[in-house]
Amino acid sequence: PDGGASQSDAQVQFPTCVCLQVEKHLEPFRLSLEKLQDVSARLRKDMLRGLGKHAHHRAAVKMLPTFVRATPDGTEKGDFLALDLGGTNFRVLHVRVLEEEQRVLKMDSQICAIPQEIMLGTGEKLFDHIAACLAEFLDSQKLRGQTLPLGFTFSFPCEQKEIDKSILIRWTKGFNCSGVEGEDVVRLLKEAIHRRGDYDIGSVAMVNDTVGTMMSCGYRDQSCEIGMIIGTGTNACYMEEMKNVKRVEGEDGRMCINTEWGGFGDDGSLKDILTEFDEEVDKTSINPGVHTFEKMISGMYLGEIVRLVLLKLTEEKLLFKGCPSEALLTPGSFETKFISEIEDGLENAKKILTKLALDWDLVDACVARLVCDTVSSRSARLCAAALATIANRIRTNRGLDHLKTTVGVDGTVYRKHPNFSDELQAAVRLLAPKCDVSFLISEDGSGKGAAMVTAVAQRLALHCMLNFL
């Protein structure tokens, strides 16, 4: 067919030869259930290595202690500030936790853009920018005179020494500010505020976005013990038994572990499932060789994987009459949101291919949709394998035949893609058959969750002090 004007979607038949040749390129993305079980077994071993006292230095999956020792119990209360850095935007929030109504209210919030030159500039400039945004927000809220406790959602891998001491291991997701890796992020924030000298903040609690997500959902559902993000980046955290967290003193109770599963495969353990397109995405990224798993899954990379596949199929004359457009040849031009739009309907596919100045026909539009579906399905199934590993671990940790648990989840890919969540949940059911996993979408985990972490830390500190007295 050509032009695609009159033929209905249902009538489209792929010519068999096109089908076979396209399939040759898509086949490496299709992971069988056995392969996913195998990936899950590898992650299980890597998680153990990450939890170990000595092996963790070399571990690809970092399993970082967060010093969050409890999920909310409903008695938390007070006013808090929250900062959220690490997604698409930087935000400042004023959050109120109401004990009587068991509610977390976002009083107000402000978004500040982080320009590219700040994302790639010096750390000092980045923290000055953050301190300036916070000052502006405090003024607009008339909060400057109060020293409110602050929850800082900083969504990058950090070696946390205490709830308020957190060393950045490495930047991810397109950030690369100099002089921050290896430094305490809380100290850098406080120094920037002191450099200004016109306001102050109270105690600080550092929070990964996965932890914020788990904690904000934990307030609504107390069986929420896993937090997961599938957005610009991907990661998960969960409540681990203290006796297994060899790096932190103490045997009793639990601690939330930030798995940093995005780094899975950085030691080469996923080589057999990487496609030539994944290798290309890694090579051209600003952090080659790291965050291998994240690069197969998250929003920052999915669009680029699809672009590379479409380009390859065009070079092989299987698409667009063998003619790529300028746009298709440009890295980053195929946005991840196009994947959701294209999978949502063939009409969208036609619009997007036209926008990319491609000379398409109806078969091309269907093939493009198939490529999007294949790449996003792999992402959902890999996430499911990783999530099933965590659920299975919690179940065996507790010696249970059957575990009922809830995952707090957030991120644009999970929220916006038309069938990502269904596919992920179906695969989790197959990969963790003895676990009954429910999913709760977090309502602003990075903001309200950061306040919850701060509130729970205050509750535990008060409890500790009362015991001492």
| Single-letter amino acid code for the residue at 85 | L
Return the closest-CA partner of residue 173 out of 101, 253, 97, 87.
Answer: 87
Cα 407 from Cα 437, distance rounded (Å): 7
Which one of the listed residues 173, 295, 350, 448 is annotated catalytic?
A: 173
Binding of ligand BGC at residue 25 (CB under 6 A)? no
Among 184, 209, 225, 282, binds ligand BGC (CB under 6 A): 209
- The token pair at 136 is 């502006």
Return the number of the residue (211 or 367) whose C-beta is nearest ligand BGC.
Answer: 211
Among 294, 364, 423, 444, binds ligand BGC (CB under 6 A): 294
209 catalytic? Reply is: yes
DSSP state of 457: H
Site for ligand BGC in 128-167 (CB under 6 A): 155-157
Cα 231 from Cα 415, distance rounded (Å): 9
Site for ligand BGC in 378-407 (CB under 6 A): none
For 64, 93, 187, 290, the CA distances from 119, given in Å and listed in that order, are 24, 21, 19, 18
Return the number of the residue (231 or 408) whose C-beta is nearest ligand BGC.
Answer: 231
HSE-CB of 238 using CA atoms within 13 angstroms:
24
Binding of ligand BGC at residue 210 (CB under 6 A)? yes
Pick the piece of the chain touching ligand BGC (CB under 6 A) from 120-128, 231-239, 312-320, 370-378.
Answer: 231-239
CB of 231 to ligand BGC, least distance (A): 6
- The token pair at 288 is 């080659």
Cα 202 from Cα 446, distance rounded (Å): 19
Binding of ligand BGC at residue 172 (CB under 6 A)? yes
Classify 318 as helix, strand or coil: coil
Q: Which residue is nearest to ligand BGC (CB)?
A: 233
Binding of ligand BGC at residue 227 (CB under 6 A)? no
Among 25, 62, 94, 173, binds ligand BGC (CB under 6 A): 173
How many chain residues touch ligand BGC (CB under 6 A)? Answer: 17
Binding of ligand BGC at residue 233 (CB under 6 A)? yes
Pick the piece of the chain touching ligand BGC (CB under 6 A) from 182-190, 227-235, 329-337, 344-352.
Answer: 227-235
Binding of ligand BGC at residue 208 (CB under 6 A)? yes
CB of 157 to ligand BGC, least distance (A): 5
Which one of the listed residues 184, 209, 278, 282 is annotated catalytic?
A: 209
35 catalytic? Reply is: no
Helix pair angle (362-397, 16-26), 10° resolution: 30
For 86, 250, 398, 449, the CA distances from 246, given in Å and listed in that order, are 28, 9, 17, 26
Binding of ligand BGC at residue 218 (CB under 6 A)? no
Binding of ligand BGC at residue 86 (CB under 6 A)? yes
Pick the piece of the chain touching ligand BGC (CB under 6 A) from 21-29, 31-39, 226-234, 327-335.
Answer: 226-234
The secondary structure element, H or E, covering residue 462 is helix 450-468
Return the number of the residue (4 or 265) whose C-beta is nearest ligand BGC.
Answer: 265
Pick the piece of the chain touching ligand BGC (CB under 6 A) from 90-98, 233-241, 274-282, 317-325.
Answer: 233-241
Cα 277 from Cα 78, distance rounded (Å): 49
Strands in 103-112's sheet, in edge-to-edge order, are 103-112, 90-98, 78-85, 150-154, 204-207
Site for ligand BGC in 246-275 (CB under 6 A): 260, 262
- The token pair at 43 is 């992650």
Burial of 198 from C-beta contacts in 10 A (0-12 / 13-18 / 19+) = exposed
Return the closest-CA partner of residue 220 out of 413, 449, 53, 421.
Answer: 449
Are 417 and 344 in contact by the 8 Å Cβ rule? The answer is: no
Residues interacting with ligand BGC, by CB under 6 A? 86, 155-157, 172-173, 208-210, 229, 231, 233-235, 260, 262, 294
- Positions annotated as catalytic residues are 173, 209
